Amino acid sequence: MKIYTKNKDFIPERFFNKVEMNTIRKENKVIILFLIINLIAFPFVVQNISETKESSKLNRNSNREEGKIKLEDISIWVKNLMKDNIEEAHITNNGGDIIVNNLSDIDELSSNGFIEIHDMNLNDNEKYKLGVSLHE
């Protein structure tokens, strides 16, 4: 639609005022339409916000639970590692390294139902370094 300027192009004042009024009315209509759309959408938006909040809370809780070390696991580690044949043990988050002197000790650990051996290395002191974790 053509844009008119007051006192320009010989446009009569009454016509200019009419066009201005129509423009204002149209703008108001658009604003009202936006308000109505917002009012209709408001409950859905609030619901979505609360849902996302709850889900983020749950995620945080589950993450915390995952990160926690159970007391039972600690007792399993203690029972199985506090033995004379185990030279050294470094355990963090239910996994780590164990150093043993000979192969019979490795046999004993592998027959243990609680501990799983992932890898095995022979270090400079001719001792065996085992990568271990708890059986899931």
Partner 1 sequence: MRKSIIFIKKNYCTYDGKKYDFNEFRKLSGLLTSNIKVVILQEELFVSHFENTVRRCKLCNFVDSKIRNDFPQNGDILYDFEKRGNVISIYSIKGSKRVEKVVEKAINIEIKPIQFIIKDVLMKIVRDNNRNFKALIKYDACYYYVSFRDRLYHDGFVSENKHIVEEKLLKKGDLEEIYVDDSTVDIISDNNKSKAKKVNIGEFINENIYEKQRFHSRKIF
Going from the C-alpha of 62 to that of each of 50, 51, 68, the distances in angstroms are 18, 16, 10
Stretch that binds partner 1, among 5-13, 36-44, 81-89, 98-106 (CB under 8 A): 5-13
Contact 115, 109 (CB under 8 A): yes
* 6 vs 68 by CB, closer to partner 1: 6
Q: Does 111 bind partner 1 (CB under 8 A)?
A: no
Q: Which is nearer to partner 1, 20 or 107 (CB)?
A: 20
Q: Least CB distance from residue 63 to partner 1, whole Å?
A: 58
Q: 128: closest CA among 103, 92, 91?
A: 103
Q: Please state the closest distance from residue 30 (CB atom) to partner 1, in A.
A: 19
Q: How many residues in the chain?
A: 136
Short-list 32, 34, 6, CA closest to 19: 6
Q: Is 118 in the site for partner 1 (CB under 8 A)?
A: no
Is residue 40 close enough to count as binding partner 1 by CB under 8 A? Answer: no
Q: Can you tell me whether residue 9 is helix, strand or coil?
A: coil
Which residues are near partner 1 by CB under 8 A? 1-2, 5-15
